[in-house]
Structure 1
Amino acid sequence: MSWWHTILPLGITVVAVFVPGAVLARCAGVRGLTLAAVSAPLTVTICAGTAIVAPRLGVPYTPVVVAIATVIVALLALALRVAVLLRRTDLSQARSWIRPGATRSTARDYPLVGDPRVTGILIGLVSLVLPLYIIGLRYVRGIGKPENISQTYDNIFHLNAVQTIISTGNGSSLTLGNLTPTSAGFYPAAWHDLVAVVAELTGASVPLAVNATNIVVAALVWPLACLFLVSRISGGRLLPMMLTGVLSAAFSAFPYLMIDFGVLYPNHLAIAMLPLAIGLVVDVLDVGSFRPESVLTSGLLLVLMLPGMALAHPSVVVALVAFVFPLVLAKLAQQLIRAARGSVPRRRAIVWAGLTVLYVVAGLAVWIVARPDPSTYTWQPVQTAAQAVGEILGAAPMFAPISWLMLVLIAIGLYSMLRQRRQWWIFGMFLVGSALFIVASSMPVGDVRSFWTGVWYTDNFRLAALLPIVTVPIVAIGAEFLVRHLVTDLRRLLERRAARQPVAPAGDRSRVLAGLQERPGIVYGSVSLALVLIIGVLGQNPSLEVRQDSLIARYAMTSTSPLLDSDERALLDQVDGLVPAGEQVLANPRTGGALVLALADRRTVTPHVAGQRSPAEQTIIDHWDEAAFNTTVCAAVRDENAYWALDFGSREVTAGQHPYPGLNHLEGTPGVRLAAEVGHARLYELTACRA
């Protein structure tokens, strides 16, 4: 299959990811950029919430059930709007919630004034289409073929979890666990729930649905979230919005790192939504340059999207708690200053002081409770603090080549913020993100490092992926500062030259001056747009090429692929025609055999490396090859319908050897028949227990 054949599945994926949330948001009165940005996160909440509720109601989790849930919550949102309208006597006040969207600052950029329709088209093309093209193209090149899979340990679980949801109709995060009834428990399943909906709507294989969903999240959800956050900082001005669009595709740490390392698909989804959550907090606290007419709507949207983000990956909610802390301090400082000046009552400042203390206490509680067991803190420091600082400033964490453009833009952005002395919480947020990465990547192993970064398993990669969230506003500010000064200097230079033209006829000089003064949008808007495009091109730095090359190696299907090689994949393609539906297959998951569930839709005794086993399952794992002479084996085999086994050799995706005793002696064993083989990969049937 070529990528051209995936155009329809990709289009359906966009619909599946955005439409449910868009219906809910529109019924809540949301419009414009906010509508576009919140749609996907609200869809995630709808899918994850429906997956939890559906089993309790005795109905399967399917796209139809998700559609019904969407209609229900959308009608509730609409009813709430109507109730607000009816309860308020002042309709002008009610309208502020019914039709939100006004801004504190609607001033347009001087270099980009002109026809609003043309301006809107330019913004759409540059801000969204360019990152869509750039990120999408890099994902396509990195993944290779549409149905390639990441050859990594975590992918055993992720692919099988999606197929488990499709097969069982149960995608509840409360019970997904390790994919077997005996190991049911909590696992954040929002990403898996979303991919399951995509797979069922498109009819695509699980690998294709996974890749399509990840592309849509990276190329659409992420840039929209960045645009929303920067709009709150810039007041919705056009130039920083366009710059944000092109620069959102210039970070190697996100989105690319999360589908390369791990793979960490749930983090990939949750982090893509994080800038939106921060932007909504900016609205609620009123510390930005963009004020929606209704803080209530922004708060409601934040409340609605947080469950989806938490059920994608809880650690990203903890990151939100940390990144929002400077915003809370900024709000407190704002109220204290206003109280000192007499513009607000002192009791309001006292209330905010109390709320700040409450936030710190609650935040520390979340920080402590959300940390996993310390035995999972296996990641070690990898560099010095000085090296970590250099990687942060060069937008090149985890040993990627430095991006000189990003280094310059970060420096200019920091200078611009310090000079203007406003919205300093942006700098505070940058310091928080940087400090977490420095602690994880350079601080010696100990209690301090574990306390601050244990939520992320002290994993440098997870914290590196958070750096673009706190860096996007700074590079947007720096790029705007640079472009504005270049355009302003160009305008002055052209005007001086036109005025001093000694030989040009007066009429020509007048026409030049008139063109510069009367139609600046055409002249300087074109220059600004050209500079934005140049920055976008220069932003595609060597660190992105390194990450793309790493993706190519990670997703390549070869005869030596670490998880599932070409022989093994070819054999799995035959399994559904050989193994009857309802019968199980025994396989060592570390050799890739467990992917018979995701790729052939056949149940396996071991769908994941981890997980508790029932006595019958353990008997099969340890003694399957002894069925001809061990009388206890056939009883277990019949209980589990486990008449088949895959032998993919001893090469495992992780270091070391973890043999499955029941697979040790299959060739030539009495009562075991070779059913199919491709190269070294073999499928066996246990005929000894068929009688």
Structure 2
Amino acid sequence: MPLNEKALEDFLSWSSTIPHVLAGLAILFVPGLLVLWASRVRGVAMVAVSAPVTVSIAAVAALVAPVLGLRWSLVPVAIVTVVVAVVALGVTRLALKNEAVNEPRRINWLAGAGHTVAILTAAFLIGRRLLAVFGTPESFSQTFDNVFHLNAVRYILDTGSGSSFTVSSMTGGTFYPSAWHDIVSLLAGVTGASVPVAVNVTNLIVGSVVWPLGCIFLAHTLLGNRVVVSVAAGVLSAAFGAFPLLLLDFGVLYPNFLGNALLPVALGLALQALGLGYQLPQSRTVVWLLFLAALPGLTLAHPSSMMALLALLLSPLLYLWFRTALRLWVRSPKRWLALAGMVAVLAAGLGALVVAWKAVRPVEAAATWQPFESTGRAIGEVITSSGIGRSVSWVVMILAVAGVVSLILRQKQLWLVGMYLVMASLFVVVASAEFGPVRTFFTGVWYNDPPRLASLLPLVTLPLAAVAAVRCWDKWIVPMVVGRPVITTIRPESRRAALRGFALVIVGAVVTGLLGFGTQQANVREAQSAATPGYRLTEDAPLVSPDELALIQRLPAEVPAGATMVGNPWNGSALAYAFSGRKLLQLHLLGEVPSDATKIFDGLNEANSDPTVCPVIRRLQIGYVLDFGHQEIRGWDHGYRGLDDLVTDGVAKLVDSEGQARLFKLTACGQ
């Protein structure tokens, strides 16, 4: 089949997922929308903030459900939603009585249409690339971490518990942030979608809807709630190869992907709560409530995203500290005492940050990623938005540099430049600093992993680029078209004003197209090209080949539901659990297994001659062997030689096969 026809067929296959997409949108947005409605938040902010609040609700509901004796479903989500909405309603009403609060403005339908177009444009630009990467709804990433992620979703569906304290028991662990897995399992449970379809639909919504909405909300916080801000931030949200595409390729790091997508809203709420930037028409109390409501989801998506938020807030908090200290020094009659108090506050804050920084991180043995480039090259990649070896993103680079210069020259929002420098410094350290305790202190939170920090750079580059884009629009383009500063309203009785407004819309559409074209170049195309092969089902696929998948799909008819299979997880057989629901002895490449399971892996074919093998088979209740050979991911070889030659050694009989993939039923040990 020609390439274009195949691409068209893959695209059309997504039409069958429209009900799943609608269900996914409802799951990710409706609970949060109810809370935001109760908080009297309206407009773009209501939609943008709703997804992070929903993730928090889902993650907390997953923790609470086992305590209440409830299976994981929409029921515990609904219970927590009602509780949070009632609290929000009560706090908002109290704030309306005790604080000066601006009532929500009347709906401006024209502006609303502009914001909607901006959101849809961003969703299209990102969504088309994600669909091209995924290929078909049933595709799955053939990467190391995906064995855990897909099996964890199946594990939640089977056990009925999505708690972060129980999901990790699948591999013998004690805690694993499971917010992403909770959302995916809800979608699979509600719609009946297969695990791969639920994963792809969820990631499509998070990448092409949640992320750009968050970027637009953050831009509104910095530049005001205007259509031009939404358009600039929306188009720019699709301009980076480093996010969302990178984390859907490398790893794959789905929990980090969700956490990063939630960060713009959390950062915007934090800045509003601190009194920086443009405010929601709510009281500061309500904004603080919304910020706190977004934190559980951010943390339980991935704790490193929470630590990224702390790093990003360092600059704004230091700015507020200096401003407050200076004001006290000038106005306080006891200036030295006031200064001493401020120094104590600063020391306590930095101390708490250091303690948290050292506590919330993986074990050092897991943070083994090495630097891969020179310091100069790393700095260049930050400036040019070309992190991890991508091409220079010229339009983004020019706008971001212009944004920095504009803020410095105008002496405005310099803490935003500070945020950029903090995140840029962390990337330079992880990408180029010598491996050792200093590098691990600063970047061990992200496993010393350059791609994880590269994926955070768009979060600080985009606002700077948006500053330049909006300023260019206000100072150059608008006066050129209408002959005066920005038009905020168009009076119906003024035909000339209407014509100018129409001309401005046309020019805006052209400029938007040019910005979109300029940012959708080599940088994002390379990210798409790099990610695509990992989702393709080919004969030399790293984990599962077409033959192996065909055999897996027949397992429900050939292996009883309660039976346990054994296989080499490194060759992809572990994914049979996610795809068929039939359990294997080892469900993850690094999963903990019973202490005597090595007797099976190394000597199952000796069951008729070694008397120590059969007792282990009976204790572990092993009935079948799924044999995908010794072609392992990354070309490794972990042995598992005890699973070879089972028929020859009289230990098992062949039940089914597809190419080189085979399913055996044990016949030894009285099976």
**1:620 maps to which residue?**
600
Q: Deviations over 1:420-451 (max 9, x none)?
A: 11110110000001000111111122222121
> Quick one: structure 1 residues 303 and 116, their matched pair in 2 at CA, closer, same or farther if it must change by over 3 Å?
closer
1:660-675 correspondence to structure 2 within 5 Å: 660-675=640-655
Separation in structure 2 between the aligned mates of residue 515 and residue 549 of structure 1, nearest angstrom: 50
TM-score of the aligned structures, taking structure 2 as reference length? 0.92
> Quick one: structure 1 residues 661 and 178, their matched pair in 2 at CA, closer, same or farther if it must change by over 3 Å?
farther
> Quick one: structure 1 residues 517 and 217, their matched pair in 2 at CA, closer, same or farther if it must change by over 3 Å?
closer
Matched residue count: 651
Decide which of 114, 117, 123 is 1:122's aligned counterpart.
114
Amino acid at match of 2:230: M
1:40-51 correspondence to structure 2 within 5 Å: 40-51=51-62
Q: Deviations over 1:585-628 (max 9, x none)?
A: 11111100001110000111000122332245444333333333
Amino acid at match of 1:524: L
Decide which of 575, 591, 594 is 2:571's aligned counterpart.
591
Fraction of identical pairs, as percent: 37
Separation in structure 2 between the aligned mates of residue 689 and residue 30 of structure 1, nearest angstrom: 66
CA contact (8 A) 2:40 2:104 kept: no
Separation in structure 2 between the aligned mates of residue 263 and residue 370 of structure 1, nearest angstrom: 21
SS in 2 for 1:654: helix
Separation in structure 2 between the aligned mates of residue 135 and residue 445 of structure 1, nearest angstrom: 35
Shift of 1:523: 2.2
Separation in structure 1 between the aligned mates of residue 669 and residue 42 of structure 2, nearest angstrom: 63
Shift of 1:57: 2.9
**2:129 maps to which residue?**
138
1:237 and 2:226 aligned = yes
Separation in structure 1 between the aligned mates of residue 75 and residue 349 of structure 2, nearest angstrom: 40
Separation in structure 1 between the aligned mates of residue 38 and residue 622 of structure 2, nearest angstrom: 50
- Root-mean-square deviation over aligned CA pairs: 2.5
**2:627 maps to which residue?**
647
Separation in structure 2 between the aligned mates of residue 627 and residue 644 of structure 1, nearest angstrom: 14
Q: Deviations over 1:392-439 (max 9, x none)?
A: 121110000111111111121111111211110110000001000111
Separation in structure 1 between the aligned mates of residue 104 and residue 328 of structure 2, nearest angstrom: 29
Separation in structure 2 between the aligned mates of residue 72 and residue 78 of structure 1, nearest angstrom: 10
SS in 1 for 2:168: coil
Amino acid at match of 2:73: T
Shift of 1:479: 1.1
1:60-209 correspondence to structure 2 within 5 Å: 60-81=71-92, 84=94, 92-93=97-98, 96=101, 116-126=108-118, 128-177=119-168, 179-180=170-171, 183-209=172-198
Decide which of 58, 64, 74 is 1:53's aligned counterpart.
64
Separation in structure 2 between the aligned mates of residue 21 and residue 452 of structure 1, nearest angstrom: 34
Amino acid at match of 1:125: V
CA contact (8 A) 2:482 2:504 kept: no
> Quick one: structure 1 residues 3 and 581, their matched pair in 2 at CA, closer, same or farther if it must change by over 3 Å?
same
> Quick one: structure 1 residues 411 and 184, their matched pair in 2 at CA, closer, same or farther if it must change by over 3 Å?
closer
Range that drifts further, 623-632 or 327-336: 623-632
> Quick one: structure 1 residues 517 and 161, their matched pair in 2 at CA, closer, same or farther if it must change by over 3 Å?
closer
1:621-640 correspondence to structure 2 within 5 Å: 621-640=601-620
TM-score of the aligned structures, taking structure 1 as reference length? 0.89
Amino acid at match of 2:537: M
Separation in structure 2 between the aligned mates of residue 492 and residue 80 of structure 1, nearest angstrom: 45
**Structure 2, unaligned runs of 5 or more:** 1-9, 486-493
**2:438 maps to which residue?**
448
Amino acid at match of 2:253: L
CA contact (8 A) 1:178 1:610 kept: no
**1:561 maps to which residue?**
541
Separation in structure 1 between the aligned mates of residue 137 and residue 458 of structure 2, nearest angstrom: 27
**2:422 maps to which residue?**
432
Shift of 1:381: 1.3
> Quick one: structure 1 residues 195 and 348, their matched pair in 2 at CA, closer, same or farther if it must change by over 3 Å?
farther
Shift of 1:574: 0.7
**2:489 maps to which residue?**
none
**2:242 maps to which residue?**
253
Amino acid at match of 2:201: A
Shift of 1:388: 1.2
Separation in structure 1 between the aligned mates of residue 103 and residue 426 of structure 2, nearest angstrom: 36
Separation in structure 1 between the aligned mates of residue 351 and residue 420 of structure 2, nearest angstrom: 22
Range that drifts further, 522-531 or 266-275: 522-531
Decide which of 578, 589, 599 is 1:609's aligned counterpart.
589
CA contact (8 A) 1:385 1:438 kept: yes
CA contact (8 A) 1:287 1:331 kept: no
> Quick one: structure 1 residues 344 and 578, their matched pair in 2 at CA, closer, same or farther if it must change by over 3 Å?
farther
Separation in structure 2 between the aligned mates of residue 531 and residue 476 of structure 1, nearest angstrom: 14
Separation in structure 1 between the aligned mates of residue 484 and residue 158 of structure 2, nearest angstrom: 68
Separation in structure 2 between the aligned mates of residue 307 and residue 494 of structure 1, nearest angstrom: 46
**2:324 maps to which residue?**
335
Q: Deviations over 1:247-302 (max 9, x none)?
A: 10111100110001110000000000111111111111112133543111111111
Decide which of 394, 397, 401 is 1:404's aligned counterpart.
394
**1:10 maps to which residue?**
21
Decide which of 348, 355, 358 is 1:365's aligned counterpart.
355
**2:411 maps to which residue?**
421
CA contact (8 A) 2:573 2:628 kept: yes
SS in 2 for 1:674: strand
Range that drifts further, 357-366 or 137-146: 357-366
